[in-house]
Structures are given as C-alpha cells and as structure tokens.
Amino acid sequence: MASVFVVEDDLQIRELAVRALADAGHVVRAEATAMAALQGIVDTAPDVVVMDLGLPDVDGSDLLRMVRAVSDVPVIIATARDEEAEIVRLLDAGADEYVVKPYSGAELEARVRALLRRVDAKGAARTVTVGGLRIDLRGRTVELDGETLQCNRKEFDLLAYLAAHVGTVVTREELFAEVWREPYGGADKTIDVHLSWLRRKLGETAAEPRYIHTVRGVGVKLVDPS
Ligand code: CA
C-alpha cells in the first residue's frame, strides 16, 4: 500500500484512476489543477504522483519542473499516444514512468506498483556510510555510532549533500545552489548557522572537527575521521 497523488482535470479519468488505485489498497488524493496539486504534493508528501500533461492552469511539463524543485517523489506522466517526443523529453526532465491514455485502471495500478518496486529496490541501496555516520537518504534518518540524530530538513539535506561528496571540498556557492536552491549572497550566515548546529549534533566544533572540516576561503568537506 502506498499514498498516490493523482493530477487529472478530466473528471471521468480522475474517478477511474482514484477508484482503481483505492481498490488496490492505496491511499489516493486527487486534484484537477496543477497549482492545487503542487500544494497538495508539498503538504502530503505522497509516495507516487500520477500527472496528466494537459492541465487547465499550468502545462504538465511546467508542473513536473515545479514538483522536481521541491520533491524527489516518483512521477508517472499520463499522456496521449501521439506525444512520443514529449514523453522522451519529460523522462529526461525527471519523470520516472509514463502511461498512455486511454489507460485502464488495472494498467495504471500495475505501473504504480512497478514504479514503487523500482524505487524500493533503489532505496535499499540508498544509504551512505561515512565512519560512524549512517545516512538513510530515503528514510531521511541519520545515525551516529548507532544513535539516531534528530536533524531538521535543511540540516539533513546539507549533511546528505556533503556525504555524497565525501572527502571533497564543497563551496558555499554550491551548497546554496544545491541545498538551498538560491544564489549565494556572499555575507549570508545561513550555512554557518546550519553547520554549527550539525557540528553540535555530531559532538564536534569548528576548532576541533572530526567529520565536518572547514577549508578557509574555499568551503567545507565531510571526512571519515577513523
Ligand atoms: Ca487533461
């Protein structure tokens, strides 16, 4: 069972999709417009999104881009048969799967199930270990020497990004772009504040670092202290 978010403006197709997925035991939410869907996806963090391309307010490909800016949720795009070039473009743009209209409820449910299996298989390997630090990227949990660390969203994103680049100096500009998704303002202390919180949780200080090392004038790197 998973939570599935359906974005579809056609009432009949939406009802078919919701019924088929709910009958298969999924928790289903649905919206008819892109903007309502974007809000709903942010609010409910579904396991899978099924997205119609022809929406009344915002083009499906623009909605996909907006969803990708805030979430890694797996996305199935639903499209008409004659849009093959568009399908390729959308898969390149971050869609995970597609289903061709008109689809049956059974077909949609099979696509959702297959995608969840794929994501779970990938998720099993999506754990990064650096020394005594274990970061579960899918479950968004962090353990240090077997103890769970409570991290807020940005702390987790920051740590995960550093862990993905272990041993490499990451610049502030890069962290702003990749973790905060904002251009670096220069005098901004946001990164320093989050780094100091993280260091406290890791039981270290900037003066006596173990995992998080500042490289003055360049950036910061995560290292295996063992
Ligand atoms: Ca439509």
Structure-derived torsion over alpha carbons of residues 5, 8, 10, 14, reported in degrees to the nearest 10: -20
pLDDT attached to residue 147? 94
**Can you tell me the mean pLDDT for 87-105?**
89
Same domain, 60 and 169: no
Q: 8-16: long-range contacts (C-beta < 8 A, 24 or more apart)?
A: 8/32, 8/50, 8/52, 8/78, 9/33, 9/52, 9/54, 9/55, 9/56, 10/52, 13/52, 13/78, 13/101, 13/102, 16/105
- Residue span of the structural domain in which 190 resides: 125-222
How many whole angstroms from 44 Cα to the centroid of ligand 1?
22
**Can you tell me the mean pLDDT for 126-131?**
80
How many whole angstroms from 30 Cα to the centroid of ligand 1?
13
Same domain, 56 and 159: no
The rounded distance, in Å, linking the Cα atoms of 140 and 91 is 25
Count: domains in the chain? 2
How many whole angstroms from 55 Cα to the centroid of ligand 1?
5
> Is it the case that residue 123 has pLDDT exceeding 60?
no
Q: Please, which residues have CB within 8 angstroms of residue 111's CB and are 6 or more apart in sequence?
A: 76, 97, 99
Lowest-confidence pick of 9-13, 114-118, 139-143, 180-184: 180-184
> Is it the case that residue 127 has pLDDT exceeding 80?
no
CATH number (domain holding residue 107):
3.40.50.2300
210 versus 136: the higher-pLDDT residue is 210
How many whole angstroms from 120 Cα to the centroid of ligand 1?
29
213 versus 174: the higher-pLDDT residue is 213
How many whole angstroms from 82 Cα to the centroid of ligand 1?
14
| Domain endpoint, select from 104, 121, 138 | 121
The rounded distance, in Å, linking the Cα atoms of 179 and 49 is 23
pLDDT attached to residue 61? 87
**Can you tell me the mean pLDDT for 159-174?**
88
Same domain, 59 and 131: no
pLDDT attached to residue 143? 94
Q: Which of 116, 152, 156 is nearest to 134 (CA)?
A: 156
Burial per residue of 102-122, b for 16 or more beta-carbon CB atoms within 10 angstroms, e otherwise: ebebeebbebbeebbeebeee
Same domain, 77 and 102: yes
pLDDT attached to residue 8? 97
> Is it the case that residue 159 has pLDDT exceeding 70?
yes
Between the CA of residue 86 and those of 4, 10, 14, 53, 54, what are the distances in Å?
23, 20, 22, 10, 12
Same domain, 74 and 90: yes
Same domain, 107 and 138: no
pLDDT attached to residue 122? 61
Confidence band for 204, pLDDT divided at 50, 70 and 90: very high
| Domain endpoint, select from 93, 121, 149 | 121
**Can you tell me the mean pLDDT for 16-43?**
94
How many whole angstroms from 28 Cα to the centroid of ligand 1?
18
Average pLDDT of the residues of the chain: 88
The rounded distance, in Å, linking the Cα atoms of 153 and 225 is 24
pLDDT attached to residue 82? 67
> Is it the case that residue 64 has pLDDT exceeding 60?
yes
Same domain, 14 and 78: yes
> Is it the case that residue 186 has pLDDT exceeding 70?
no
> Is it the case that residue 128 has pLDDT exceeding 70?
yes
| Domain endpoint, select from 92, 121, 150 | 121
Same domain, 64 and 143: no
Same domain, 66 and 10: yes
Same domain, 159 and 96: no
> Is it the case that residue 81 has pLDDT exceeding 70?
no
How many whole angstroms from 9 Cα to the centroid of ligand 1?
5
CATH number (domain holding residue 173):
1.10.10.10
Same domain, 155 and 198: yes
Same domain, 112 and 218: no
pLDDT attached to residue 12? 96
pLDDT attached to residue 87? 84
- Percent of the chain topping pLDDT 70: 95
How many whole angstroms from 3 Cα to the centroid of ligand 1?
22
